[in-house]
Each structure stands twice: as C-alpha cells, then as structure tokens.
Amino acid sequence: MKKVVKFGGSSLASAEQFKKVGDIIRAEKSRRYVVPSAPGKRFSADTKVTDMLYQCYAQAEDGKDFSKLLSDIQARYNEIIEGLELNLSLDKEFKVIKENFEKKAGSDYAASRGEYLNGIIMANYLGYEFIDAAKVIFFDENGHFDEVQTNKILSKKLKKVDYAVIPGFYGAMPDGTIKTFSRGGSDLTGSIVAKAAQVDLYENWTDVSGFMIADPRIINNPKTIEAITYKELRELSYMGATVLHEDAIFPIRNEGIPIHIRNTNAPKDKGTLIVEATCRHPKYTVTGIAGKQGFASITIEKAMMNSEIGFCRKVLQVFEDNGISIEHMPSGIDTMTVFVHQSEFEEKEQKVLAGIHQAVQPDSIELESDLSLIAIVGRGMRSKRGTSGRVFSALAHAHVNVKMIDQGSSELNIVVGVRNHDFENAIRALYDIFVTTKL
C-alpha cells in the first residue's frame, strides 16, 4: 500500500507538533509522500507564518526595512529546528529570500516560502528526499493549473523516489515564477501528488477528527461523519464546510483514490473517509448540514411568463452582464426568484433592476435582503420518504419562517432559505430532528 499524507499548519506549528507528525508517519511504511503546510498558530493569539510572510513582503514592496520581521520568521523556524535537535541551518535560504524580496519577486513567492522552508525541515527530520514543488507542479501562462504537464513530470519523478516531501500550496509558471493556489491549497497539492503517485489512500491530517455533521460553533459537540461521497462533500464545502479545500477532490475523483481526514492530535480517532461511492448505509438520514449567510433575493413577477420563450434567459443575462453570480433560482408559473450574494448585488442593484425592466417588462419586482441559505445533504434522503416534511416540521416548531425551499434533482440535497437572524436556530432545529432524534 502507498499513501500520501498531508499535514496542515496547526499540525506543524511547533517542534512538539512536528514530533507528533513524525510518529504518525513512521508508524506506517506506507506513508511515503508527505505534503506539509507552513507553520500555523501555536496558540490562539499567535500569527501564522504565511501571514507573517505577506506582512514582511508588503514592507519590502513599500521600500521599508523588513529585516526585523524576516528575522522573526526565521526565529520561528529555528525554534522548530532546535526543538527537533536537527543539524540544519536555513541561513542560505533566508539570504536568498531577502534578496528576492528586495527584487520584488511577488507576493506569491513570499507566501510560498512558508511551505518551502517547512518542507526542508520535514525532509531533514524524516530522512526523506526533498522535492521542490516548483520543479514538479506547473501553471500555464494564464495562471491556471496545468494538470497534464504536472502529472507527466511529477509521475516520472515519483517513480524514482520511494519516500519524499513535496511542499504544498505552490508551483511554477512557464517562466519559473512562483505561483500559489488559493489559501488552503496544500490540500490540493496532496491530491495532485496522490494522483501522480497512484497511491491507495490520501490521508489529510488536520486539527479536527474529520467532518462534523454541523458547524461546532453552532452545535455543541456535533457527531462526526464517518463516510461521505465526493458529491456530498462538494455540496457541503460549497455551503461553508471548510475542513478540506473544495477543489482538492478534483485531481483524484476519477482515480478511485479515497481521502481520509484524520486528527494529528488524536490519531486513533476514525476520522472521515471521502469516497466516490459507498455501499455503507449512513448512520443518519442526512450526512451533513451547512449554510451561508448574507444573501438577497430578487422576485420577478409577470403574468404568463411561463409561456414567454426566453424569459429566464433574458433575466439571467442581466445578472451575467453585471458580473453577479447566481446561487439559486426557484420559480413558479408567474414568478421566478433569484438568490445572489447581497454584497455583490447591493453595489449594482439599481442597474440590475433597470436591466430586468428593459429585458422582460415585469409586472413587479420584489427585493428581500439579509437572507441565509442552508443545505441539508445526504445520500440517505433518497431512500427515506418525508424528508422535506421533516425539514418543514423542524423549522416550524423552531418558529423559523422558510423563505425558499429547493430540492436538487439528484435527491442529494435540500436547500432552504431563511432570514439571517433565524440562521443558527434553524441549523439547531435541523440537527435535532435528523441527528439527535434520528428521524
């Protein structure tokens, strides 16, 4: 068996955490390829190294003296090196970083050094080969990830290496310039390496014991999801669940490689297994409940709109022309409602309203703000009758007024719209009826 193991910033924030990681990796010889993040927070008031690097580079870009902050960053790494009792110096690396900051090498370069330096330490600590991600992960001239080129070069490289450390979060443009993924991109690097190495399992180690059924900031000690499909994960990630970078599933989705979310601080916990499909029956009707706040709805009413060819297309064109993405679009015979991010819409609302009037001449347009969308997701809903009824019942008992309900054709999710002030109360009510009482 071969595994890729990715460790998040909190798992590598200190020498003590590094030792936990070392014990985990050495416990199984199958853990052959390691993808580290930059050091995260050691305590709640601490600063992540990536944020320190951004701050340091901003000073360099403004022509200010950044030597003090760069020295503080090096001290963070030296503290880890000393705690691990390694015979290692990063003086040369920091000299190069200083020179490149002075040359204005770019904020992507600056941010990537967190993973790069942690990768060097990790490789030295484990006795693994260090592979600079800039040599094996590529972006095209437009800054988009080049999957074909990356897989070709990285696969060839890993066939020759039994044990290696590949830093997460970054790669290189065609001219060699460093380019980063979005924040949390080390998850994506782990998937890319897993595909290239054709491993049996991708373990993603973090500071929680897997995906929770609901947000622990709202639900006290929510249950952990034991197994979840890629489709369910996409639905929950899109609606705010943030344990894993939502793009991390794409490189390995068609390879049949599962992702296992594990807790560095509780390695014996089962965690959450993410798979393409599974015969395992879910413990509860729903797999997870997640949501986002801050939406607005635009309800367009026009008699006989259902017989007017192109009506919806014309309305949606107005939003597209104004650069506004659409979240949901429930409709009736004479009405259609468009849900959008309120912050995006407010700046252009009058322009959008004028555009809709010009495009379709509606009888009326009604706006509503301060709304939330909550997704109830689960493959178990397909075989369970009356799920929508239980959703309405739970929300009614909690005195939550439902502004919208939309069930996907896959029967995998139900999305409800509520007012922002009812958001947390609604999630508690849904968790209670589907998990606490197991309906």
Of 237, 205, 211, the residue nearest 224 (C-alpha): 211
Tokens, residue 106 = 């770019």
CB atoms within 10 A of CB 211: 27
pLDDT tens-digit profile of 193-225? 999 999 999 999 999 898 899 999 999 999 999
In this structure, are strands 288-301 and 364-377 parallel, antiparallel, or unpaired? antiparallel
CB atoms within 10 A of CB 156: 11
Tell me what pLDDT residue 410 has: 65
Q: Which CATH class is domain 3-200?
A: alpha beta
CA–CA separation, 341 and 294 (whole Å): 6
Q: What is the mean predicted confidence (pLDDT) over 94-101? A: 97
CB atoms within 10 A of CB 2: 16
Under 8 Å between Cβ of 288 and 228: yes
Rama region for 79: left / alpha / beta (φ>0; ψ in -120 to 50; rest): alpha
The domain segmentation of the chain, as residue ranges, is: 3-200, 288-436
Tell me what pLDDT residue 409 has: 63
CATH classification code of 288-436: 3.30.2130.10
CA angle, 122 then 125 then 129, to 5°: 65
Q: What is the mean predicted confidence (pLDDT) over 342-371? A: 95
Provide the pLDDT confidence category of residue 282 given band limits of 50, 70 and 90: confident
Of 28, 39, 37, 1, the residue nearest 190 (C-alpha): 37
Under 8 Å between Cβ of 240 and 231: no
